Amino acid sequence: MATEIASESNAEARLKALFGKDLPYLKDFAQMAWLLSDRKTFDSALKKIDERLWIRYNEPDLPPGTHNRFSRAILSYAQKTYGFSAQNNVVFTGNVGTEAFKSYVLSGVLWKDSLSSGHGEYTHSLQWLAAAEQLPSVTGKVKAMYAETMKQKSTAKINKAAATTFKDTVYLWEWLVDCFPQSRDTSIAAAKSQEGIFSDLARSPFGATQQIIMRNGGELFIADLLYGRYLRRGWIRETDKKLPARDISSYGAEQHSDNTTWKSLRETAQAKGSTVLRTYGYSRDTAAKIDDNEDKPVKECTYYGVKGVISGSGAI
């Protein structure tokens, strides 16, 4: 069904129905799906990853002023702790073609999204790292599970977007960590008796990002940094801390247009009679560069008893 996952056993049953009882890592994927569907457990997982990233963010090789400081903290931690292939800073500044996207996931590469304010820039990385921190059975195999999500497709067509006719087989990635908000599922009855890739919880990047942002206020480093970052950029409504699904791809493209550092790939494809532009880029500069801009904002903070500094647009 397209209703939210009710329990770990419910997640397992739905995985079997969609992807088969012989799905590799079946029980582990069920645990992760339930983790992302239970707000309290996801909050607990976020706190664990938050402490790890705060410490990494403030290590000597990432001083305040370092370009892409938060990105580098995530990539370094993910690579050293879980073996993700994070040697390059990958940024998606548009929708990426299926085969290109698949190649990244199969290679265990993490990235930053510059697509939509509601989607969040780091959400997929945080989903997977939270699962690795919270679930002992996932910890040692998270990279393999990550890749497996783009090897497995559903055995039947399910609801994929608002239009009733838009049904298709889906990759496990889409069902597990890349759902649309429930509001997009307008094509079926309120009972939502048909399976689809819809969720308002952390299986959806929108749901996960919103849950993280709502925890700002001095407890979570990630929440405070991202809230400050999005507030400064005008990507969040101050009145209710909501993140509208605002297109920010032009911002991402502009930020990563330096050809001496970034390589961009552009491809056009015909989709329903119109041309779609897909872009992405990556930096091969693995050194932690220091910004020459002395006016970059900084904010002294303490989390988990460790003093440090948030710098850049997240420092409000």
Residue 209 forms part of a structural domain: yes
Q: Could you give the CA distance from residue 257 to residue 271 in angstroms, rounded to a whole number?
A: 26
Planar angle of CA 22, 28, 29, nearest 5 degrees = 75
Dihedral of CA atoms 162, 176, 95, 253 in degrees, nearest 10, equals 120
pLDDT at 279 over 80: no
Least confident of 46-50, 61-65, 189-193, 283-287: 189-193
The tally of domains found in the chain comes to 1
Task: For residue 25, give both structure tokens.
Answer: 């890592």
What average pLDDT score do residues 176-190 get?
Answer: 76
Question: What band does 22 get if pLDDT is binned at 50, 70 and 90?
Answer: very high
What average pLDDT score do residues 177-186 get?
Answer: 84
pLDDT at 54: 98
pLDDT at 222: 97
3-state SS track over the chain: CCCCCCCHHHHHHHHHHHHCCCCCCHHHHHHHHHHCCCHHHHHHHHHHHHHHHHHHHCCCCCCCCECCHHHHHHHHHHHHHHCCCCCCEEEECCCCCHHHHHHHHHCCCCEEECCECCCCCCHHHHHHHHHHHHCHHHHCCHHHHHHHCCCCECCCCEECCCCCCCEECCEHHHHHHCCECHHHCCCCCCCCCCCECECCCCCCHHHHHHHHHCCCCCCCHHHHHHHHHHHHHCCCECCCCECCCCECHHHHHHHCCCCCCEEEEEEEEEECCEEEEEEEEEECCCCCCECCCCCCCEEEEEECCEEEEEEHHHCC
Using alpha carbons, list the distances in angstroms from residue 240 to 19, 193, 213, 231, 243: 38, 31, 11, 12, 9
CB 128 within 8 A of CB 109: no
Share of residues in the chain with pLDDT > 90 (%): 55
pLDDT at 162 over 70: no
- Positive or negative, the CA dihedral 69, 74, 75, 77 is positive
pLDDT at 292 over 80: no
What average pLDDT score do residues 28-36 get?
Answer: 98
Question: What band does 271 get if pLDDT is binned at 50, 70 and 90?
Answer: very low
Q: Could you give the CA distance from residue 38 to residue 134 in angstroms, rounded to a whole number?
A: 13
Q: Containing domain of residue 27, as a range?
A: 8-314
How high does pLDDT run on average in the chain?
A: 85
CB 130 within 8 A of CB 46: yes
Residue 248 forms part of a structural domain: yes
Residue 96 forms part of a structural domain: yes
Question: What band does 159 get if pLDDT is binned at 50, 70 and 90?
Answer: confident
pLDDT at 201: 97
Residue 107 forms part of a structural domain: yes
Q: Write the CB contacts of 199 (distance below 8 Å, at least 6 apart in sequence).
A: 4, 5, 37, 179, 180, 181, 182, 207
Question: What band does 269 get if pLDDT is binned at 50, 70 and 90?
Answer: very low
Least confident of 147-151, 189-193, 233-237: 189-193
Residue 1 forms part of a structural domain: no
Residue 2 forms part of a structural domain: no
Q: Could you give the CA distance from residue 231 to residue 316 in angstroms, rounded to a whole number?
A: 9
Question: What band does 260 get if pLDDT is binned at 50, 70 and 90?
Answer: low
Question: What band does 272 get if pLDDT is binned at 50, 70 and 90?
Answer: very low
Residue 3 forms part of a structural domain: no
pLDDT at 77: 95
Task: For residue 43, give both structure tokens.
Answer: 């909050």
pLDDT at 36: 98
pLDDT digits (tens, 9 = 90+) for 198-240: 999 999 999 999 999 999 999 999 999 999 999 888 888 877 7
pLDDT at 164 over 60: no
| Neighbouring-strand partners of residue 198 | 180
pLDDT at 219: 93
Question: What band does 296 get if pLDDT is binned at 50, 70 and 90?
Answer: confident
